[in-house]
Amino acid sequence: MDAEPTPTPARPALRPTAIASRARIKAAVPASGAWRDGDDPGRRQFAALGGLELEGGGLLPDVTLAYETYGTLDAGGRNAVLVLHALTGDSHVAGPAGPGHVTAGWWDDMVGPGKPIDTDRYYVVVPNVLGGCQGSTGPSSAAPDGRPWGARFPRVTTRDQVAVEVRLARELGITGWQLVVGASMGGLRALEWAVLGPEAGIEVRGLAAIATTAQTSADQIAWSHPQLAAIRLDPGWHDGSYYDQPDGQGPHAGLAVARQIAHTTYRSAHELDTRFGRLPQGGEDPLTDGRYAVQSYLDHHGDKLARRFDANSYLVLTDSMNTHDLGRDRGGVEQALGQIAARTLVVAVDSDRLFPPVQSARIARWVPGADDLRIITSPYGHDGFLIEFDQLGPIVREFLESLEVGERVRTAG
């Protein structure tokens, strides 16, 4: 006869103060952090761009893009720069937090007067991506029936997103970009712009593709898969129809977990080990019910995103990244890269484990007008493009200046 199993010791109960603290955090998280009609627009402007036939089939009616502009378009329209944000970014690239903007500009050290992308010299346009949640048409927007799209929002691809941005450029009277620059998800769109823009009659003279890829890899899709599942398995997701739920009853837990998984890929193992090691968080004891400091760090970033972003947009935009393939219907990636006529800057972060340098090297190798690959040395991993401004700033400034010199030479000729 088998022996009786040894009872598993009960886990110590959470301290009452910890229970109260976590309950307060949960109750304070809104069902969605999306910007909604009626909210303060801040610096946002809005362009109504009509219906869009989607690459995957179907029609998305009444598309609106939110965008911000910095600087002034010159008389010849030759100084326009398009800046494209990453997954959870938005149109607020520069400036402080304030009414309508819960966070400060995500690239504030790069864009502004006297900065590498100098708004005293350039007219900078920053759209919120189609499918996003900060003013552009996305899952939190009203569908034709007046209710939020939610999970009914159709699949959009990187190519769809750029097709709408092409319309925005026309709306603004821009016939060419001095530079199209993007990092991470923004880099996917920047590469699409370099092909689709000229096909649509909008010149792209300069391209900067930073910490990005021409084709999403199996590894990147694999990392995204549990992120999508975390949101969809959250009982607060309500099959995507959670916008009328009270605070604390939306899919904030699933969105926070998705962010924690993603954030791990945004940083390097070396940085996490060096910064946190196996230290406990504050007075907590990991042998009872406490956390290690690195767990607290991830909890913080998950909670922070859940307060300012929308779970359905996270699903839509992650899916758009998964479907990214510059070579689709263009004869393959190398042939598509070979079509890019823009002078091209490609930048990689040496410790990036999400978009590794080999993917950037592929872009630099096959784009005819690409400069030599530039490498940022950083312990921070993929997030180096948001941190290492002392390296990235001079690279971008130098590239813009070289574009201007090329312009003058062509004009003189």
Binding site as annotated, residues for substrate? 259, 383
Distance CA 196, CA 215 (A): 16
Vertex 227 angle, CA 237 and 128, to 5°: 80
Question: Residue type at 213?
Answer: T
Q: How many residues does the chain have?
A: 413
- Paired residues of 215 in beta bridges: 325
Q: Which residues have CB under 8 Å from 347's CB, separation 6+?
A: 208, 209, 210, 211, 360, 373, 374, 375, 376, 385, 392, 395
Q: Determine whether 74 is an active site residue.
A: no
In 3D space, the residue among 30, 40, 33 whose CA is nearest the CA of residue 312 turns out to be 33
In 3D space, the residue among 170, 202, 151, 139 whose CA is nearest the CA of residue 50 turns out to be 170
Q: Is 135 helix (H, G, I), strand (E, B) or coil?
A: coil
* Catalytic, out of 92, 101, 324, 382: 382
Distance CA 341, CA 238 (A): 46
Q: Determine whether 324 is an active site residue.
A: no
Residue 262: its H or E element = helix 252-266
Tell me the binding residues.
259, 383
In 3D space, the residue among 338, 316, 318 whose CA is nearest the CA of residue 327 turns out to be 338
Q: Determine whether 320 is an active site residue.
A: no
* Catalytic, out of 252, 352, 360, 378: 352
- Paired residues of 66 in beta bridges: 46
Question: Residue type at 218?
Answer: A
* Catalytic, out of 91, 136, 140, 184: 184
Fill in the DSSP letter of residue 138: S
Distance CA 52, CA 261 (A): 33
Under 8 Å between Cβ of 109 and 93: no
Fill in the DSSP letter of residue 9: P
Catalytic residues, which ones? 184, 352, 382
